[in-house]
């Protein structure tokens, strides 16, 4: 029962973060600035982003439930809040403020934060659960390459 409780809490927090990030974007995706950018040839179609983030947040929420059952500490909450804030503020930097360099820095720090979770907690019940972080890490690397391409090719 505790696991379901944590999964629900993290689903609400994580999807809430996505909604807030989307709010910070405004209509930037359809606006002139983004439309006129020289985007990477491997930029996926728009629907892929929604599918990817849904899968990522489900896996991430499940992982966090396992992690917080094992270790519910203030430090872990701070790491989670930090990663949540980075995920939300990337939209504001990149889309709203058109600060591509700041967006890239945010992504790099977010990758390091999620990778920290992947390599640090790998005992017992988390030995297999850590692989739930792989979709997030892979997507962040793709986002990093897309952001970097825009930075260096515009």
Q: How far out from the chain centre does Cα 17 lie?
A: 9
Query: How many domains does the structure of the chain reveal?
Result: 1
CA–CA separation, 67 vs 107, rounded Å? 23
Note down pLDDT in tens along the chain; length 154 residues.
889 999 999 999 999 999 999 898 877 777 889 989 999 999 999 899 999 999 999 999 999 999 999 889 999 999 999 999 999 999 999 999 999 999 999 999 999 999 999 999 877 778 889 999 999 999 999 999 999 999 999 8
Three-state DSSP class for residue 8? helix
Q: Which residues make Cβ contacts (< 8 Å) with residue 41, sequence separation at least 6?
A: none
pLDDT in the model for residue 56: 98
Residue 136 maps to which CATH number? 1.20.1260.100
Q: Which domain holds residue 95?
A: 2-152
Q: Which two tokens stand for residue 131?
A: 């692989």
pLDDT in the model for residue 27: 79
This prediction's pTM:
0.92
pLDDT in the model for residue 107: 97
Residue 39 DSSP label: -
Instruction: Decide if 86 contacts 106 (C-beta within 8 A).
Output: yes
Asked whether the CA dihedral 146, 150, 152, 153 is positive or negative, the reply is: positive
Three-state DSSP class for residue 143? helix
């Amino acid at each position: 029962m505790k696991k379901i409780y944590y999964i629900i809490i993290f689903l609400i927090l994580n999807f809430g973060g996505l909604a807030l990030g989307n709010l910070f974007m405004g209509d930037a995706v359809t606006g002139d600035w983004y439309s006129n950018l020289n985007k990477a040839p491997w930029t996926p179609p728009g629907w892929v982003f929604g599918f990817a983030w849904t899968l990522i947040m489900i896996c991430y929420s499940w992982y966090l439930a396992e992690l917080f059952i094992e270790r519910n500490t203030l430090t872990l909450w701070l790491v989670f809040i930090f990663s949540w804030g980075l995920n939300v503020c990337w939209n504001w930097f990149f889309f709203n403020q058109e600060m591509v360099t700041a967006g890239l820095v945010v992504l790099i720090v977010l990758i390091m934060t999620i990778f920290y979770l992947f390599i640090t907690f790998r005992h017992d019940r988390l030995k297999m659960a850590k692989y739930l972080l792989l979709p997030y890490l892979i997507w962040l690397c793709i986002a990093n390459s897309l952001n970097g391409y825009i930075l260096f090719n515009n």
